[in-house]
Amino acid sequence: NAGVTQTPKFRILKIGQSMTLQCTQDMNHNYMYWYRQDPGMGLKLIYYSVGAGITDKGEVPNGYNVSRSTTEDFPLRLELAAPSQTSVYFCASRQGPDSGNTIYFGEGSWLTVV
């Protein structure tokens, strides 16, 4: 019962490098989300997707890109990494917008930009 799987769990990047955080879910969920959690702060929404081929910006999209070519995968791309992107990143998914559908979160990816 995998649920939402994120990779890598830990990564150190140098300033200016690029990387992709992978997220996959095996629950056939339509909605997927990327959040970031800064120390001592709540989660802030970066991007979300309501289905394959459809993505939209959240609260803090700058410096990131996403794609949703399949229902299962929702990768988050960091271009030109900056120290301000040091954070914990959470991917999440749910079946749809209905109130009874719970959001399932992955275990998080710890990213440090130095």
Q: Which is nearer to other proteins, 14 or 97 (CB)?
A: 97
Partners of residue 40 on adjacent β-strands: none
Q: Which residue has the tokens 């399932």?
A: 104
Locate the DSSP E strands across 14-108.
19-25, 31-37, 43-51, 54-57, 64-66, 76-78, 87-94, 104-105
Stretch that binds other proteins, among 14-22, 61-69, 73-81, 103-111 (CB under 8 A): 103-111
Binding flags for other proteins, 75-94, as an x/- string (CB under 8 A): -------------x-x-x--
Among 13, 21, 43, 78, binds other proteins (CB under 8 A): 43
Give 55's contacts (C-beta < 8 A, 6+ positions apart). 47, 48, 49, 66, 67, 68
Least distance (Å) from other proteins to the CB of residue 114? Answer: 21
Instruction: Output the smallest distance, CB 108 to other proteins, in A.
Output: 5
